[in-house]
Amino acid sequence: MAGSTRTPPVDFVVVSNRLPVDAKPGADGEQQWVTSPGGLVAALQPVMAGREAAWVGWPGLADTPLETFSLDRTHYVPVSMSEREVAEHYEGMSNATIWPLYHDVIVAPQFHRDWWETYRVVNQRFAEAAAAVASEGGFVWVQDYQLQLVPQMLRVLRPDLRIGYFHHIPFPSSELFGQLPWRQEILHGLLGADVVGFQRAVDASNMRQAVRRNVGYSMKKPIVRVPLDARVPRDPDSPPVTASKTREVRVDVFPISLDQAAIVELATTDSVRARATAIREELGQPGTVFLGVDRLDYTKGISHRLKAFGELLAEGTLEASDAVFVQLASPSRERVESYRQLRDDIELQVGRINGEFGHLGRPAIVYLHQNISRDEMMALYLACDVMVVTPLRDGMNLVAKEFVSARTDNKGVLVLSEFTGAADELDQALMVNPHDIDGMKEAFVQAANMSPDEASTRMAALRATVEEHDVRRWATSFLDAVTPPRPKPRR
């Protein structure tokens, strides 16, 4: 891989499908690297800050080998992919097979042997890149579903390393996981790590159950005992493994969070507060501003919440003259057919609701299919009255935690899907089942009519939870699991 030999060995290596930076032309025409948006970037950057580290990932450009480069104390190691590999590894196996399967088959997954072979080849390339930059006995933290084979590949290449894997999305029930033709290879890959982390207890339990049913390794919650000579997937009909020499893999829950202090700092700037005031004015000073912030993805439940809002307008419970729904749907995986179809469906739905209930200069739904700056995002959080986070299935959903962190005024109401990891922690939100349209309508009305005192009490409790369980606590708990702190000497 171009340039990887120039990177000095480091003790801390992050491996993710994408590098956390994007190439942008500067004012002088030269290529510059800027931080890219995304929950993973927001969560890991505070962990990387202040330490000599490397980040291995694809730079987002197909058929473009790039040299390793450094920003501050982080060395960025680009992994190249061809156009075909992007189509088959990322758009195909990762996002048309694994993603829908792991999200409860909201959309039917596709199974193609060519995609699987490319996924395996690309995972090997990532493992080799990480092995090349990690120092002796160093720690490598592999991130997410695109790289589930990397932990075991890396263990074969570098048995001296400590290896962690964090799974940011849900892990399916063993019945759904059993549909995957390569289920044993996936489990074998994940169990190459010392610690496999999940957002929710149910996801960790689902993986352990999949291990029990498909490879039969012995375990005692949350530990899976993997034979040292485990090299190939086993027949699931074989009896449980009994091996004299095993290593322990911890499969457990580590709910991810964010850097609340950084969000508070940004949300309290004069410019962001002024922009929030301007947004309310641009919307015509409505009585209630509902807000949804999502990637355009079929797991996010965007059509369900818009249907609920549209029915409230049709019934006269809400009036478009006094309530507006702002829906930001940032572009996502636009070359995948199911995502193109989703965009068409959402835009048709928005057009119908606005055509029936909108007024001149005041649409019922303000729909934005674009990426916006962090400052603008914070201003939207401050400008809204009701934050609607209603995915059909989600690993965590950091948008909910970002909104709570930004509301230093203790105002605003969070409507939250019970099928998010955030629901396990943010119990003062108004919980909804996004499939229950009537229940969601009731929550919208309750949120719009909530008294300031109740809203303030709920928000204060939500903020206290996020402040206590911030990104540093998440990272520390995971790293301590990989390398438990040494006991203090007795006096």
**Which residues have C-beta within 8 Å of that of residue 456, sequence separation ≥ 6?**
410, 411
- In angstroms, the CA 90 to CA 88 distance is 6
What band does 239 get if pLDDT is binned at 50, 70 and 90?
low
What band does 474 get if pLDDT is binned at 50, 70 and 90?
very high
Average pLDDT over residues 181-199: 97
State residue 488's pLDDT score. Answer: 52
pLDDT tens, position by position, 317-355:
999 999 999 999 999 888 888 888 999 999 999 999 999
State residue 8's pLDDT score. Answer: 83
Average pLDDT over residues 300-317: 98
Cα-based distances in Å from 358 to 310, 312, 316, 363:
11, 13, 13, 4
Average pLDDT over residues 416-427: 97
Does residue 5 register a pLDDT over 50?
A: no
Does residue 38 register a pLDDT over 80?
A: no
Cα-based distances in Å from 172 to 131, 137, 237, 418, 438:
30, 33, 21, 16, 27
Yes or no: say if 167 and 252 are a contact pair by the CB < 8 Å rule.
no
- In angstroms, the CA 445 to CA 50 distance is 46
Does residue 244 register a pLDDT over 70?
A: no
What letter represents residue 321's amino acid?
S
Average pLDDT over residues 204-227: 93
Does residue 128 register a pLDDT over 90?
A: yes
State residue 236's pLDDT score. Answer: 55
Q: What is the mean pLDDT of the chain?
A: 91
State residue 243's pLDDT score. Answer: 58
What band does 155 get if pLDDT is binned at 50, 70 and 90?
very high
State residue 50's pLDDT score. Answer: 78
Does residue 35 register a pLDDT over 90?
A: no
Closest listed residue to residue 170, CA positions, set 397, 342, 390: 397
pLDDT tens, position by position, 85-110:
999 999 999 999 999 999 999 999 99
Q: Above pLDDT 70, what percent of the chain? A: 91
State residue 71's pLDDT score. Answer: 82
Strand partners, 58: 18
State residue 3's pLDDT score. Answer: 40
The CB-side HSE value for 109 (13 A sphere, CA atoms) comes to: 23
Dihedral, CA of residue 143, residue 148, residue 150 and residue 152, to nearest 10: 120
Average pLDDT over residues 279-299: 96
**Which residues have C-beta within 8 Å of that of residue 105, sequence separation ≥ 6?**
176
Query: Which domains are delineated in the chain?
Result: 4-253 (3.40.50.2000), 260-468 (3.40.50.2000)
Average pLDDT over residues 251-280: 96
Does residue 4 register a pLDDT over 50?
A: no
- In angstroms, the CA 433 to CA 416 distance is 9
Mean pLDDT is lowest, of 77-86, 116-125, 244-253, for 244-253
Q: Above pLDDT 90, what percent of the chain? A: 78
